[in-house]
Structure 1
């Protein structure tokens, strides 16, 4: 598969088969992903994958926290903080596309909440990864995390797999830290639920538009 194909084929998938990825295949993908570039070759990322029985325990523990009313406590500011103008409009359009595809109206708060909770059920994916970096680092180091994440997602596509990056999986880190062996001093930036796509599910029909090239790129000569 060419890189262009992988980029265009990659979408955020929210409906997965229960089938686990063979460990040898997963190790091969992760071994390739570590070749992603980073500033001064610092490689600030750490990726912990939780599967099987540990994944089930983690889902149960996080859901219990949420349903108890516990407040989120992310290590880094969430991606929706400080959005204004066109960026806020795009966030709004994203939500309307998502809920609209699922047949949920804006006033149906219970249905919207139920759909939101699927984040912490990892959308039924057999694997969930937590991507972290030292909390002492800042936005420039976060660029390296994004490069690694995109590299990993494209490799999953190349191997016929699907994924969804989730900022929401950084909101409740306490139970993650008990189960996922993060390095000392690291904070979670986001999670990645992944596996094999369950084709035909309505939730996988969600397709987001992209802004025209002229809106995001300037060429000067």
Structure 2
């Protein structure tokens, strides 16, 4: 069975919008595009590349697909990420009928959830999501993401498209791996770990004042 892996750049307040440059996605008046760049160094780049070392196919929303298709095919030289992206299969969630011109690209069709379930049940490499915030919300809503590779940058953006937004459902997460770069970037890998577990430090015999406090909240 194939896994769906979301490999995502996020800020401390969970924003994932336009990490690569000012013109990447200014929708909604977002004015901080390119926030990843100042934190780049050799060790961060090396750890980031490890995400792409294993075989994968790309799983992309239409907007991210268009950003990638306008950039990666035109990268000159022996860039390993460009080589991987250009030569792998790209599965695209799109509602339109426009031709997907980037080589080895194919539409997921009208029923994206059914198509991804079918891909997951089949043979092949894992399905790697890059960007694609709207698609991620759909996948979160249907619990289709098996692993999160988060690259958490040490800044607060205050607004913008967030990773865990309208599609997020309550879930516990298990930390599989973590590492931090000299520039303060935290690489953390999580997998869903069942329902949210709760408890109470108050105990079975709350004070009368606590009981009255609870009544006021109802």
Q: TM-score, normalised by structure 1?
A: 0.23
Higher Rg of the two aligned structures: 2
Structure whose residues are more often strand by fraction: 2
- Higher RCO (CA-CA < 8 Å; seq separation 6+): 1
Q: TM-score, normalised by structure 2?
A: 0.24
